[in-house]
Structure 1
Amino acid sequence: MEQPGQTVVVTGFGPFGEHAVNASWTAVQELQQLGLGDGVRLHVYEIPVDYRAAQRLVPELWERHSPQLVVHVGVSGLASSVTLESCGHNSGYCRPDNRDFSPCSGCCVDGGPDCLSSVIDMDAVCCRLAARGLDVALSTSQDAGRFLCDFTYFLSLLQGCGRAAFVHVPPVGRPYSARQLGLALRAVVLEMLAQLGPPAPRAS
Structure 2
Amino acid sequence: MISLGVKRKEVVIASRKSRFGPFGEHAVNASWIAVQELEKLGLRDDVDLHVYEVPVEYQTVQRLIPALWKKHSPQLVVHVGVSGMATTVTLEKCGHNVGYKGLDNCRFCPGSQCCVEGGPECIDSIIDMDTVCKRVSALGLDVTVTISKDAGRYLCDFTYYTSLYQSRGRSAFVHVPPLGKPYTAEQLGRALQAIIEEMLDVLEHSEDKINCQHEH
| Global fold match (TM > 0.5) | yes
Does the 8 Å CA contact 1:12/1:74 hold for their aligned counterparts? yes
Q: Does 1:130 align with 2:137?
A: yes
Q: Does 1:88 align with 2:95?
A: yes
Residue type of the alignment partner of 1:8: V
Question: CA deviation digits over 1:79-138, x for unaligned, max 9?
Answer: 000000000000000000011111001001111110000001111111111112121000
1:176-191 alignment runs, 5 A limit: 176-191=183-198
Name the SS for the 1:139 alignment partner.
strand
Instruction: Tell me the equivalent position of 1:46.
Output: 53
CA contact 1:14–1:21 (8 Å) conserved in 2: no
Any runs of at least 4 consecutive aligned residues in structure 1 with deviations exceeding 4 A, and if so which? 198-201
C-alpha distance after superposition, 1:116-174 (max 9, x if no partner):
00001111111111112121000000000000000000010011110100000000111
- Counterpart pick for 1:101 among 74, 96, 108: 108
- The answer for the alignment partner of 1:31 in structure 2 is 38
TM-score normalised according to structure 2 size: 0.89
Question: Number of paired residues?
Answer: 201
**One-letter amino acid of the structure 2 residue matched with residue 7 of structure 1:** E
User: Which of these residues, 100, 121, 125, is aligned with residue 118 of structure 1?
Assistant: 125
Who wins on radius of gyration, i.e. which is larger?
Answer: 2
Match of 2:214?
A: none
The match for 1:64 is 71
Answer whether contact 1:16 1:22 (CA < 8 A) is retained: no
Aligned sequence identity (%): 60
Aligned to 2:157: 150
State whether structure 2 residue 14 is matched by structure 1 residue 11. Answer: yes
Aligned counterparts of 2:78 and 2:18: Cα–Cα separation in 1 = 19
Report the alpha carbon displacement of residue 20 of structure 1 after superposing the two structures with TM. Answer: 5.4
Structure 1 segments unaligned to the other structure (5+ residues): none
SS in 2 for 1:197: helix
- 1:195 Cα deviation after fit: 0.5
Give the whole-Å Cα distance in 2 for the aligned partners of 1:38 and 1:140. Answer: 28
Amino acid at match of 1:162: G
- SS of the residue 1:119 aligns to: coil
TM-score (norm 1): 0.94
| CA deviation map 1:170-199 (0-9, x unaligned) | 001110001110110000000000001178
Unaligned runs of 5+ residues in structure 2 are: 212-216
Once superposed, what is the RMSD of the aligned Cα atoms?
1.9
TM-superposed deviation, 1:78: 0.5
- For 1:32 and 1:65, how far apart are their aligned partners in 2? 18
